[in-house]
Structure 1
Amino acid sequence: MSILICISDLTEKQEFKEIDGNSKVHTLPRKALWSRVTSLRPPNKPTHADNAQKDSKTRTLRRLIIEIEGISAFYLLRELQHFTQLRLQLSANPALRGVDILWLQLRPPKKEVIDYKWNLILAHTLWERIEVEYLMSWLSTLGGGFSALGEQFSRCADVAGKISLRQLHIGLRLGDPFLQARCKLYYSISLIQTGRLRQAKYIIREQYKFAMKQKELDGRLVKMCQGIWLRLQYEYGLRLKTKKSTPDIHGGSSDK
């Protein structure tokens, strides 16, 4: 046994749903509503649908309009979905005899219901997110300054790496994988500046693979990986050039 329900909100926006015999709720597009109504009508009773085959302009949708508050409508749908006996009683109700669709017209409640506990949790979470974003902006500015100085002073590069790790901890708390990936890339820059090229190489490769696996490609993250990878290649080139120009044990130079 299926029940067709229309939910019309305060802006007169209508959403059509069907609760089937397996207690599943399906959303029906408006175009498919009439065909579904005619398929659910008893075949042994003549209806206006029979005349509609001759005249497509003749269509009658029999509905029962009930004005109800939004919260009550929500619980009514839940009860109809989970309790088969309630659906049977509703279909046997004389008021619904010959009715095609149950029309729930939402109305403003007489008294607004405010969930103060949830509002407090939401306000605290929102304020925490604002403070964390503010802290991240300061850390990014500070880390960028130390990273720039790290080109000449290794101690500043170490400080920039510690700031990046601190940002990573914040990213882990926020649960944002893209922010975590950017923080790891920031840390890889510190590794390059301090000569730990192999560790930086593994981090950059890992973040590039992560960026390319996403359904929605983050161009900013991909370009960061490519840019830092070029910097890594440059440092490897300098290291190789230095090794070639280093004198051997016989006092000569290996750079020929």
Structure 2
Amino acid sequence: MSDSMLVCVSDYWQRCHYLNRPDREAGDSCRNGKTLRRLLLQVDAINGNYYLREILQQTVLVDRLKRIHGVQLVWLQFHPPERDTIDYKWADMLAHTLWEHIEVEHLMSWLSTLGGGFSALGEQFGKCAETAGKISLQQLKIGMRLGDPFLQARCKLYYSISLIQRGHLRPAKHLIRAQYSFARQHVETDGRLVRMCQGIWLRLRYEYEQRRIQKQKRLK
């Protein structure tokens, strides 16, 4: 038998759920019809959850059960607790997390509206394009805090628009290509990213073409 302890959790309806079950090919004794020496613990589900965590995580405890007491199987028989308990600490943490997420989503909406306005003005005014870029970077920071890679990709694309408007075509090109590669890998999850990359790329090509035409005029 492997070093891990075989554990069986029997729920309220006496359905058995096995953990650390060895593979069939391992030839373990529990697969060969042999009787395993087991430790039966009849506990309520709340305490049983702590028992289960200790058995699965504490290697010293498992080693003592196996080596000193010869236990091969821990059988946890759960029954309903006498009184349901409320985890107020976890509830407070969850409420705070949800509230923070709602506030961040609200902030992102305002930043998107504000950034879109400055981006539109950035077509004519360089300062507005620069401000739009700063807003995109703030959105990127929020996306990194939320751990949302798709939101981060969209913010980087918004920032690339600001780079194009300010004439920084080369860094914008590398940024768009990187996000396009990411979007192609996750097209089934968010197909909008591919279309965003393609649209901004067309804008980049237009700016390169305009720059080429201006260069030819100067040479003439």
Q: 1:124 aligns with which of 96, 99, 112?
A: 96
Unmatched segments (≥5 aa) in structure 1: 18-25, 43-60, 93-99, 249-253
Alignment of 1:1-256 (within 5 A): 4-10=6-12, 14-17=16-19, 26-27=20-21, 37-39=30-32, 41=34, 67-81=42-56, 82=59, 83=61, 84-88=63-67, 91=70, 103-211=75-183, 218-246=190-218, 248=219, 254=220
Separation of aligned partners in 2, 1:6 and 1:152: 69
Q: Give the structure with higher Rg (CA).
A: 1
Residue type at the aligned position of 1:16: Y
Q: Deviations over 1:45-85 (max 9, x none)?
A: xxxxxxxxxxxxxxxx9998754222332333345452222
Q: 1:164, 1:186 within 8 Å by CA — same for their partners in 2?
A: yes
SS of equivalent residue, structure 2 residue 86? coil
When the two chains are superposed, the root-mean-square deviation of aligned CA atoms in Å is 3.6
Q: How many residues align?
A: 212
TM-score (structure 2 length as normaliser): 0.75
Unmatched segments (≥5 aa) in structure 2: none
SS of equivalent residue, structure 2 residue 8? strand
Separation of aligned partners in 2, 1:181 and 1:193: 19
Q: Would the alpha carbon gap of residues 202 and 64 (structure 1) be closer, same or farther in structure 2, given more than 3 Å must change? A: closer
Q: 1:185, 1:207 within 8 Å by CA — same for their partners in 2?
A: yes
Structure with a larger share of its residues in helix: 2
Q: Deviations over 1:160-192 (max 9, x none)?
A: 222212212222332333322221110110111
SS of equivalent residue, structure 1 residue 105? strand
